[in-house]
Amino acid sequence: MLFGTKNGSSRAWLATIVFLLSTHVLTVYGEEEKTIDAYIGDAAPYLHHSCESAWDASGQNAEEYVAIINRFVAIIFINHDFDIQRLADAPEADQEQLKVLFYDEIGERCAADSQKLLVSVVENSLVHAFDVMKGRSG
């Protein structure tokens, strides 16, 4: 089981996912403006997947797995009314810290229980990362 192990190959896989996420997560918001229904429609086919089954559904392809996660990120930003412009305007170092917190949290939560719904893991991880960053900024 990929997510439940603590061996080197799982860590290498996670590092690949973290790198890909860090280069793609804000790309979601550079696209033409979509409706909320369009974002939900993009994510709907994946909402039932656990961490592990999403990996399998991606064909064990890291870029496709990231694309699944990014579908959720867009909806979570809308659902929580996160200020995308504020994030885009934040110093690059703050953006990087947020990414690292977010990706580490996804990895830890999926490693702890690969059967958790991935959308829930992504949502909780993003909220956690924002909360930590908010606490650091005062």
pLDDT at 26: 45
Best CA proximity match to 43, nearest among 20, 18, 9, 77: 77
pTM listed for this prediction: 0.75
Calpha distance 66→138 (Å, rounded): 31
Sequence-distant (6+) residues with CB within 8 A of 24 are 66, 67, 70
Domain spans of the chain?
Answer: 8-137
Answer yes or no: are the C-beta atoms of 75 and 40 closer than 8 Å. Answer: yes
pLDDT at 47: 96
Where in 20-103 does DSSP place strands (E)?
Answer: none
- In which residue ranges of the chain is pLDDT below 70? 1-32, 136-138
Residue with tokens 């885009």, as numbered in its chain: 88
Answer yes or no: are the C-beta atoms of 88 and 39 closer than 8 Å. Answer: no
pLDDT at 11: 43
Residue with tokens 């974002």, as numbered in its chain: 39
> Which phi and psi (to 5°) does residue 94 adopt?
-65, -40
